[in-house]
Structure 1
Amino acid sequence: GVEECAEVLKDLPVDVRMMKEGTIFDTIQPVMEISGKYLDFGQYETTFLGLICQASGIATMAARCKKAAGRKEVISFGARRSHPTIAPLIERNAYIGGCDGVSAVPGAKLIGKEPVGTMPHALILIIGDTVKATKAFDEVIEPRVRRVSLIDTFNDEKIEALNVAGELGDKLYAVRLDTPRSRRAGTGHRPPRCTSSLP
């Protein structure tokens, strides 16, 4: 958020010292120091706090996810849970925090990267079958796009993962789970035990 703060401050008669965007800091460290008449910049205090707090909060959570994932790839899909006008900033801050990629096109443009995504639930719902939808995705999407199958639309995720993996084989890069636990709450549904294995 310090780059946005700098943009607000650029025409004001003040001197500014700030950390570089993406710098790790502790809770007692000043991120930005402004020297000048308070009347010249005080009206922007809430703006500065909002810009820095939101950006650092998103970057911190992204860094924690990346640390937990180790060498595994972490992609930000934050745009799905935010207002479209702020989605690019959320994606940018997630990238600064350590995410390997972002899903929203405007966010990807902001960081100078190609957007990354998976097949949508809508494709599976329209086709009516996870394996058939994944095969259709594989047939029409250019080869450079990794094959990530969404496996939580109709059946148990373990069974769907095995079915998709059995059909696509080595072309399948990953599976995506997107089912909230709440979607099954109160249904009494217990997924069957998975005993199959793939070579």
Structure 2
Amino acid sequence: MTKAAKVIVLYYSRSGATQQLADAIANGIVQAGAEPLLRTVACDDQAACARDLVVEAEELRDCAGLALGSPTRFGHMYSGLQKFWETTSAEWLRGALVDKPAAVFTSSSSMHGGQESTLLSMLVPLLHHGMMVLGIPYTEPGLQQTTAGGTPYGASHVEHAAGSKLSKQELTLATQLGLRLGQAAVKLQQE
């Protein structure tokens, strides 16, 4: 019996929107027949980090893929996630993440809050680790229908005045990104 491909959904969420995106991505990973591991990083605000376990280096080495998510912080990822990546030199030297699929996701409180630059900046450590980056293709109808979050670079949520609840398109796009990531992880694990 083949082991299910384990895909880490590594994120930090303060107000809950990024966590909702993580959950939708995890749902898509399950639909692909893979196993999502919802993880976070050590952080100062324990209430924001209470639900999911802190990621361990061994999980990073053993994963079949990874989704990285953060709220937008002035066009960059949350500093705790950056700090985590700065501790992964041993995995980088081993090539632990080389040729594994990866995707990114984010949330912000405003339409021009820096989502695309956050998504692009989150790709940098993944590319340095040799991961294969996946986005959301323009053939996905939700990208044409959304009036809030969702980009070809990754799933996203824009709060506006609507609060942290994801729109229908944001939820669909995040689930589709998870499905695509899970399918890639399963296929690559079988090779």
TM-score where L is the length of structure 1: 0.28
Query: Larger RCO: Structure 1 or Structure 2 (Cα < 8 Å, ≥ 6 residues apart)?
Result: 2
Bigger helix fraction: 1
| Higher radius of gyration, 1 or 2 | 1
More strand by share: 2
TM-score (norm 2): 0.29
